[in-house]
Amino acid sequence: MTNPTRPEAWNQFLAIAPYTGLLNMEAVSAADAGCVIALPYREDLIGDPDRGVLHGGAITALMDVCFGFSVYFRIREFVPMATLDLRIDYLRPAQPHSKVYASASCYKLTQELAFVRGHAYDEDPEQPISTGVGIFILTSGKPAFTEQKVVSA
């Protein structure tokens, strides 16, 4: 199964998973080298009401999703997998009212594991909000999704 890298095609995947739908995550771009996903600013995702800054947990979720998609784009297939671990360093708070982007790439792939790194930023990709690494385990159980389901969704 080939995996379309057009954002409109994988936007449907983001909409299928209720949690990514809840956070309104948007596909931005995808290539072999990695992908970019955006999280629109919303007041109900604030972690510090005095400063209007998004909660780190919302950025953790964005990076987790983006990391996972970078594996799909490396493999070019939606294989079942699970996050094994994730480590995120927060370099600075997100700018209130700005859309946050996550960019990730899968830099090593084995039969069972995918190693990913990436970062999150708002206006300037060179000034990251957070950087992170993650490891995914490719499980061989029930397929997570099929292309069929995406088309019919």
Return the residues of window 36-55 that contact another protein according to CB under 8 A: 43-50, 54-55
DSSP state of 44: G
Q: Which value, to the nearest 10 degrees, does the dihedral of the CA atoms of residues 24, 73, 71, 111 take?
A: 150
Which is nearer to another protein, 32 or 131 (by Cβ)?
131
Q: Output the smallest distance, CB 131 to another protein, in A.
A: 10
Instruction: Work out whether 144 is an interface residue with another protein (CB under 8 A).
Output: yes
Quote the CA–CA distance of 60 and 83 in Å, as a whole number: 12
- Choice between 50 and 124, CB closer to another protein: 50
Q: Does 108 bind another protein (CB under 8 A)?
A: no
Of 143, 100, 151, 147, residue with least CA distance to 124? 100
Show the site string, 52-91: x = touches another protein by CB under 8 A, - = not.
--xxxxx-xxxxxx--x-------------xxxxxxxxx-
